[in-house]
Amino acid sequence: MTTTLAESSEGMSVPWWLVLLEGIAAVIIGILLLTAPGIPMFALVQIIGFFWLLSGIFRIVSIFVESSLWGWKLLAGIVGVLAGLVVLQHPVWSAVLLPAVYVIILGVQGIILGGAGLVMAFRGGGWGTGVLGVLSILLGLVLLLNPLFIGIAVLPFVLGAFALLGGILAIVAAFAMRRGSGAGTGEASDAGTAQ
């Protein structure tokens, strides 16, 4: 029974509560974007930058909670923190640079973050991490497909819908991860009682 507990803890390399926090943040951002679609591109980019910064911090914190796949977690964390800091530290860029160039940069960063999240999910990070990775890749692809078409009127709705859906799926995944880890702990404590 001890091996079962060790195997279940190795399989979950991202703690359920980190996936839950990211899911809640995505839901809040999605609701904000869907209820206030008239926010300017500047504010929208700042919201995305804040989300990437938090996501990167969560990935780095997860290394200290569960050290398996630490290299991928560190890569995803560094990319997320750097992407978030670039967006938050240089708000004038969104007003000075062409919106299409900025959308392309955000799309590439989203795909990189999503790819790192998917690699972590396939290596045992749980399907919550995979959902967030797919969400980030989809957001990146939507941004890259036609950056000139995606303007101030369309971008908030598209990003809001993806963020809301992905956040809800991540919250569901977090609770499923929690149930899975709770079942393994219960088995181990039952085995300890039997001995």
Give the integer Cα–Cα distance in Å for 157 and 85.
24
Confidence of residue 189 (pLDDT cuts 50, 70, 90): very low
Domain extent listing, the chain: 14-183
Question: What distance lies between CA 70 and its chain's CA centroid?
Answer: 16
Residue that is written with structure tokens 């009127």 in the block: 153
Tokens of 69: 């796949």
Give pLDDT tens digits for 48-73.
778 888 888 888 888 888 777 788 88
Helix (H) or strand (E) holding 123: none
Fold of 14-183: 1.25.40
Give pLDDT tens digits for 94-144.
544 545 666 777 788 888 888 888 888 888 777 777 888 888 888 888 878
C-alpha dist (Å) from residue 181 to 4, 7, 126, 128, 177: 11, 11, 11, 14, 6
Tokens of 194: 């039997």
